[in-house]
Amino acid sequence: MNPELARYIQRRERILDKVRTLLVERLHVSRAPDEIDPDAPLFGTGLGLDSVDAVELLVSMESELGVRLPHEGLSRPAMRTVNTLVDLALAHGRTDDVDG
Amino acid sequence: MSMDDEIRALRTSVALAKGDHITCLRIEGEGAYEALDYVVACDLFLQDGQMRPSLLLDEEARPFADIHVARDDESFFLLAEGPSPEELVAFLEKRFPAGVVVTVERCNGTLLSLHGPYAWELCTTVFGPDVGSLPYLAFYRTDDAVFFRSGKTGEFGYDLLIPTDEVATVREALLREGAAFDLALASLSALDQCALENGFFNIRREGRAGLSPLELGLQWRVSYRKDYVGSAALQARREANATARVVWAVAGAPVAEGDEVFLDDQRIGHVLVSGFSVIRGEWVVLLLLDRPYAYAGIDRYEARHAGERRPIRTLSAPLLNNRSLYVSPQRHSYRTRDESKLPPFVLPL
Amino acid sequence: MLQRPTAEPPESGSPIAITGMGAVSALGESTSALWSAIEEGRDGIRPIERFSTEGFSVSLGGMVPGAGTGDRCVEFATAAAREALAHAALQIGPGGVAGRRVALILGTSLGMHVDGLHRVAAEVARALGIEGPTLTLSTACSSSTNAIGLGRDLLEAGLCDIALAGGTDELTPEIFAGFHALGLLCLSKCAPFSEPVGTTLGEGAGFLVLERGDTARARGAQVLATVLGYGLSADAYHPTTPDPTGAGVARALRGALLDAGMEADRIDYFNAHGTGTMTNDAAEFRALEQVFGERVARLPVSSTKSFLGHAQGAAGVLELIATLCGMEQGKIPPTLHYDKARPRSPPDPVAGDRPRVARVERALCNNSAFGGANAAVIVGKAPHVSAGKTPAEWLVLGASAVGPHGMDLDALGEALAAKVPLRRRAPAFRIESLIPTADGRGMDPASRYLSAAAALALADAGITLRGVKRDRAGLFVGTTRASTESEREFRDSIRERGLARLSATAFTRMVLNASAGTCTKLCALKGPTTTLTTGDGSGLVALIYAALHLSTRSDVDLILAAGVDERVSLESEAHEGEGAACLVLGKGPAPDTSKAVRLSGFGLAGPGDVEEATRLAIRMAGLDASDVVVAPNVTPVLGPAPAAEAMFACAFAVASILRGTWEHVLVPDVGGTAAAAVVFSRKGAA
């Protein structure tokens, strides 16, 4: 695999792990990390989060992954699935964990 | 009306569709919970009036039906897509645990469905405020009709179970009042395309590929804490580690079901479903990729179509920034909408 | 008729009169200050100065001007209570009414503010010389509305002669930050039913003096209005979001109307909870449509929060005082800041900056709260004679205890017989094992214990609640503090991330009624609900209130009464009890003779006066002290559990009667701010 692609996938996987951990530890999602599919919806009955959890989720994304929303308008499209959270962290999170 | 127009209406105002691809069953009796708990793949965490999306799996852990299960007091509604009503009832009756007191009946009535960012408002106009104030995945019943807020398009969606002899009248009323909402009629193909764009599972398409919830990314719809039809096979597949996973992508040129996907010269998967998105202005596809490559946000893959390599870009579903995210039944109205204030359907990454 | 535990049973059907009012609010430190500001269209909402709002997008609050530096909850309440007593021309103590015949019922929501929420009421009682039962209701933002109802019930039962009922709350940085995190605060002054959406928080205290009409007449008191009825309900929906269908609020409104024996069309004015948030206002309006039908188009509906901000636990009583002031003047308080109507909102919001001249004979006031606790009260000018209350035979239909002994009553009996201190926590279990339809995600131990105890008690009673029966089943809980685990999570989030980014989920579990809210949802208990605290003995007081409430309602079949504690200590060996015990209280006749235990008597008295409470309970049961066995003290075995321990004893007593060990069992508790005692008897025992 092309090294750049490999690095991207590695980074994505790492952030995915962090998001899963955050969901289990901070949001009390009662699932094993490997049960949390990247495309699992966060709300509705997907992972079972609700509007109050949404607040905690954003704050946790900031404290755990350094995500700072550039503007309020991004919060809704970013909080749809686990993968949209990973996208958010990739675009607006800390960049210091690129290699580890 | 072309499918493109149907989809435009569904994405910006309201669309009315038939619900005859959905079977609605009523499960009753002392053992209703126990019986369902053994065939439905998810934990039945349900308060009265709530519904959950889940699956009926076969013994090999492949989806047999795409369902919503709804709790009505101590009875249940089961809304299912995939099998015919007869196949569905036979599946259940064969698999319900022996000795459990349970009855399965097809609900009287005909299903109509409404979808769109202002579907709630048309519902309120025609049926009154109770339907309009329904939260997602809840239902409300009157003496003879049931209103389910479900929907698989990413927009406000309602499945309305109407007594058959009143369907014509209700349909007329929806069309009449719907004129003010620029209501369009939507076909099943339009609903399927919308489901694809929003990352909803479709039993008629990828659901026929022999995949399990592990490859389909549907583990959130299943439980690993209980025994049910297909649970043993699912557990075994989980322990064996799935080797592929579905990923959404977009393509500028047509790609089709069955097209192979490559990274450079390495075959890494194939196209499960493909359809043109009039809203995105490009092809939206569902891929099945080998696990090491199954990630969103990659623009190095190509699909081989008609002997030609076509670049595709993987993305996180949903692929649309649905207007329904920004429309509030407490604050907005179709009549006074200001489209300039709504964010774009496709956000720059 | 209801057996009265007093020496002189009051006149039957005597209306409950309001004879005094006192208010401390953002509009000033008196009732007249409150009303004159409303008359002039002046709100009390200003930029908050008492604490820094840096880092928040909102800086407004309805703060009490020039508030002191001590415990503001106590200061506000004491000042408001003094005003109310003076207004009623009442003096407590020598030359006036005896302190032990005066009850204090305080509604407050500051679950996170003090370790023992009952201490606020204790201090107020001490300052005023009140020596009767001192009860604290804590159902968040409907606390004081509920307090007025309980005051009515205590008076009707003859458990006091004067009830000082109201509420108090301070706007603290934590509450402000919590509401801010939840996105509930309005950027400008709150504009109920209108744009922009959101609420403005406030604070203050209000009290009413309540007494029986005959007593009031006898002492020549001026009757301001009559409490015609009240209703409580559980949304059984969500910790902070109201049931959007409005069904929960509608149940409370209908309960109040039924209690007052009147149809909705007799209501002239509706004082709404009207916080200004999108979800509250929409759900409340939906409820109004259901209860008032077509008439909602003409019904004046206003929200006093546009003047006061949302005074939390004190909101209900302050809004009721504004309503009463208006009625006295022939006016309706307006909704201020009303600009652009939301699509589905009251057609007549009494918009404007001056009260509307209108004759109001009967007003309905509603409040809703976190945890889904709704309370509504109807006041009127017309003297009201309540229809003689239903005769009550209280039956204990089921019992349960979840604690260090395990989860069944036999284990409790064995542990008590063995008399060995258990020194362990309540068992770990998954709530789904008891309530298969319950999602246990994020439940703290207190909620788990309570929900488990409720489910086990219902199972013990052989009751499956279906359909409308759920609307007729309630939950009354006694407890002393919010879940310690949730409290730690809340405190840690503030310490680690700062106030502006505190944990919103943990914040929603800081209200004292959070566990009751979860339990009503999981067990589908949609009837009346409340949470109260008296410190020690809280569970027993909840049981007594459940009995009082059950006997005054025709729309309630059963109430689950429970005590719940989650222990404070982190040390595994600490001798501290925890868990929950629950009784299912129903009305006779017993459906199944094998479950035939009666709650044959109860008594409630001032702090420490367990002798009086016991005397009342035994006499009400028609027994002599020699007839009753005193239930064993469970504390040496289970460890101290302030709210639950007396309920453990009750569960044990009921089980013992069913086994035929005893005929009559007394469970007394010296209590914190109220002493309590109950007697259980085998049905048919003399």
Same domain for C467 and C550?
A: yes
Tell me whether residue C572 is in a domain: yes
What pLDDT is stored for residue A99 in this prediction? 43
Total domain count, chain C: 2
The CA–CA distances, whole Å, from C155 to B322, C9, C224, C228, C622 equal 57, 10, 17, 13, 21
Tell me whether residue C212 is in a domain: yes
> Of C380, C412, C446, which residue is a domain's last?
C380
What pLDDT is stored for residue C2 in this prediction? 41
Rounded Cα distance, B65 and B234, in Å = 16
- One DSSP character per residue, C571-620 reads -TT-----EEEEEEEEESSPSSGGG-EEEEEEEEESTT-HHHHHHHHHHH
Tell me whether residue A99 is in a domain: no
Tell me whether residue A98 is in a domain: no
| Chain B residues within an 8 Å CB radius of A83 | 296, 316-317
Same domain for C376 and C422?
A: no
Rounded Cα distance, C309 and A94, in Å = 40
Which residue from B31, B20, B16, B22 is spatially nearest to B66, judged by alpha carbons? B22
Over residues C271-294, mean pLDDT:
96
Looking up tokens 């060995």, which residue turns up?
A: C420
**Residues of A at the B interface, defined by Cβ within 8 angstroms:** 1-2, 5, 8-9, 12-13, 31-32, 34-41, 43-48, 73-74, 76-77, 80-81, 83-84, 86-87, 90-91
Same domain for C364 and C401?
A: no
Closest residue to A87, CB basis, from B52, B316, B321: B316
Amino acid code (one letter) for C227 = V
C141 flagged as catalytic? yes
Amino acid code (one letter) for C322 = A
Tell me whether residue A31 is in a domain: yes
| Chain A residues within an 8 Å CB radius of B248 | 39
Q: Tens digit of pLDDT for each residue in C461-471?
A: 999 998 899 99
CATH number at residue A33: 1.10.1200.10
Residue B84 burial class via C-beta count within 10 angstroms: exposed 0-12, middle 13-18, buried 19 and up: exposed
What pLDDT is stored for residue C196 in this prediction? 93
Same domain for C442 and C358?
A: no
Looking up tokens 């005003």, which residue turns up?
A: C83
> Of C322, C354, C380, which residue is a domain's last?
C380
The CA–CA distances, whole Å, from B193 to B117, B185, B259, B277, B278 equal 17, 15, 18, 7, 10
Q: Residue B72: closest CA among chain C residues belongs to which residue?
A: C467
What pLDDT is stored for residue C114 in this prediction? 58
Same domain for C271 and C158?
A: yes
| Chain B residues within an 8 Å CB radius of A8 | 295, 297-298
A45–B298 C-beta distance less than 8 A: no
Q: Which domains does chain B have, with CATH numbers?
A: 3-193 (3.30.1360.120)
C405 flagged as catalytic? no
Tell me whether residue C374 is in a domain: yes
Rounded Cα distance, C123 and C135, in Å = 12
The CA–CA distances, whole Å, from C453 to A25, C400, C560, C605 equal 27, 6, 10, 27
Domain span at residue C678 reads 394-481+514-682
For chain C, say whether B333 makes contact (Cβ under 8 Å): yes
Q: Residue B346: closest CA among chain A residues belongs to which residue?
A: A77
- One DSSP character per residue, C449-480 reads HHHHHHHHHHHHTT----GGGGGGEEEEEEES
Q: Tens digit of pLDDT for each residue in C215-255?
A: 999 999 999 999 999 999 999 999 999 999 899 999 999 99
Q: Tens digit of pLDDT for each residue in C587-613?
A: 877 666 666 899 999 999 999 999 999
Amino acid code (one letter) for C424 = R
Tell me whether residue A8 is in a domain: yes
Q: Which residues of B246-263 are buried (b: 16+ CB within 10 A; e: fewer)?
A: bbbbbbeebbeeebebbb
Over residues A65-80, mean pLDDT:
88
Same domain for C372 and C447?
A: no
Per-residue pLDDT at C9 exceeds 60? no
Q: Give the active site residue among C113, C118, C238, C273.
A: C273
Same domain for C294 and C426?
A: no
Total domain count, chain A: 1
What pLDDT is stored for residue C13 in this prediction? 55
What pLDDT is stored for residue A100 in this prediction? 39
A52–C505 C-beta distance less than 8 A: yes
> Of C325, C355, C380, which residue is a domain's last?
C380
Which residue from C143, C375, C372 is spatially nearest to C252, judged by alpha carbons? C375
Domain span at residue A57 reads 3-92
Beta strands in chain B (DSSP E): 15-18, 22-28, 51-57, 63-72, 75-81, 103-106, 110-115, 138-141, 146-149, 157-162, 184-186, 244-251, 260-263, 266-277, 282-290, 301-305, 308-315
Work out the percent of chain B whose per-residue pLDDT is above 70. 100
State which residues of chain B have pLDDT below 50.
none
Tell me whether residue C592 is in a domain: yes
What pLDDT is stored for residue C127 in this prediction? 97
Per-residue pLDDT at C391 exceeds 70? no
Q: Tens digit of pLDDT for each residue in B148-182?
A: 999 999 999 999 999 999 999 999 999 999 999 99
Q: Tens digit of pLDDT for each residue in A47-67?
A: 989 989 998 999 999 989 999
State the number of CA atoms in the 13 A half-sphere of C127 facing the CB: 16
The CA–CA distances, whole Å, from C325 to C29, C263, C321 equal 15, 24, 6
Tell me whether residue A47 is in a domain: yes
Q: Tens digit of pLDDT for each residue in C529-583?
A: 999 999 999 999 999 999 999 988 999 999 999 999 999 888 878 889 999 999 9
- Between β-strands C629-630 and C597-605, what pairing exists: parallel, antiparallel or unpaired? unpaired
Which residue from C297, C272, C448, C509 is spatially nearest to C374, judged by alpha carbons? C272
C549 flagged as catalytic? no
Residue of C441, C493, C502, C503 for testing the chain A interface, max A β-carbons within 10 Å: C441
What pLDDT is stored for residue B304 in this prediction? 97
Rg (CA), chain C: 23
Evaluated on CA atoms B160, B163, B164, B168, the torsion sign reads negative
Looking up tokens 């680690």, which residue turns up?
A: C496
Same domain for C322 and C292?
A: yes
Rounded Cα distance, C509 and C532, in Å = 16
Q: What does the block give as tokens for B52? A: 């959950």
Residue B310 CB coordination number (10 Å): 18
**Average pLDDT of every residue of chain C:** 93
Phi, psi for C222 (deg, rounded to 5): -80, 125
Same domain for C425 and C545?
A: yes
Closest residue to A2, CB basis, from B238, B300, B343: B300
What pLDDT is stored for residue C594 in this prediction? 61
Q: Give the active site residue among C310, C405, C549, C664.
A: C310
Same domain for C274 and C169?
A: yes
C282–B48 C-beta distance less than 8 A: no
Same domain for C335 and C416?
A: no
Which residue from B151, B162, B168, B176 is spatially nearest to B10, judged by alpha carbons? B151
Same domain for C77 and C186?
A: yes
What pLDDT is stored for residue A45 in this prediction? 83
| Chain A residues within an 8 Å CB radius of B343 | 73, 77
- What ipTM was estimated for this complex? 0.94
- One DSSP character per residue, C432-454 reads GGTSTT---TT--HHHHHHHHHH
CATH number at residue C126: 3.40.47.10
